[in-house]
Structure 1
């Protein structure tokens, strides 16, 4: 790969055990939508897939379920600890067709015979996502698949009735993204990224888990996300630790929503896929 200024290594969610746990919780809530995106994009048995920013390996495992034992999935992430955990999980699941590599996606040596490149919640952390996608296309065969799923953190949460605590937390994270120089609307920006990278108009979809009641997993997921974001929220001066009060956040949000007999949507993921132009 050639050098590019498109990659931002400052992952605002942090690199911690708490963040790894958040990623696992996220998997339970969002993996079905990622599977649907990759299936519609055309991942099929025998394909070789590159998963960038592979994290704990959830997207790689979804891809493996679609390409089967005759296919191959290569995940790349810059965090050695989470790569080791992903590799251990792959072994425990018997997924011999899945491998993981540690490295900066803009610098690591990779083959140029992939049938697809995929990623979830990656481009939001990139200063020039179109440049990175163009670079990744060098490793994809002509006609190969490009599929990404990213966050669209809008102006406010979807909730009925409105949740004051959720709205407050939502605003704090949105302001953190703004001060960090990240595009909190990257999900809906995927269309422009794909076109700027020289791809055809992508097919796109939108997904957000919705729930209420005492047993909804969304309360703990929002709390885990706030906990992973807390260091940057504090560093950027968005809120104080006392204002966040994360030790009680999940229970306070649960009590507020249950008392109002309400429902709310978790952050929206937008998926987009297209194909590399043929020769």
Structure 2
């Protein structure tokens, strides 16, 4: 007798499935690289210009010449050499800076000439055709050249004034030296002539042996003048005090002496600032 049991169930063979691998991080997705385009080279553009077109272009780029319309210099016909020379030097400098041609400068001259100079120009403008001719005729009319001996006399005869700065005084003398014919004097020789015409205060504060050039001399002289002015400003009552002291001293003299005036010995006046005799504080340079 057959044993009854659980019937056998046939199962189809199972397929072996391999386990999936899980990535431990985010998955990177790469894109294909794009091809780098090289910049295109610009095409060579050659511009051809004619000679006339090139000259026009250069003329347009060149600075335009100016005129005397904006010049503020004037000359009224003063017959002094330094005034005429200063005017011509300034006008020539302005003319070069503004690139003014000789023709345009002559056209604009009536804007600069006043008074007697304007009247002179009205009668001479038809005869003057060049700028150099204008300068020569202007000098001949308003600043005739002096003989050398007259220039030397003018240099040595005029001394420095008490209210005149050393720098201004030396500038006038140097202008006169420039008018002398060549060969010109050496700088040390010019300084020797000027030094004897200075105020006593400057001579005392700036010895002649302390400088050999104009620059060194003017530097020391300006420093001495600045020191003097500072002392005067700090002592405004010194002048009045010195005057009152001298008056009281003269009144205190005994009247019974009756000494003749010719035999009286006057006290020698001495400056209270520079301590030099022969002048008072008010007259000190």
What TM-score bracket applies, with the shorter chain setting the length? under 0.3
Q: TM-score, normalised by structure 2?
A: 0.24
Give the structure-1-normalised TM-score: 0.25
Q: Which has the higher contact order (CA 8 A, sep 6+)?
A: 1
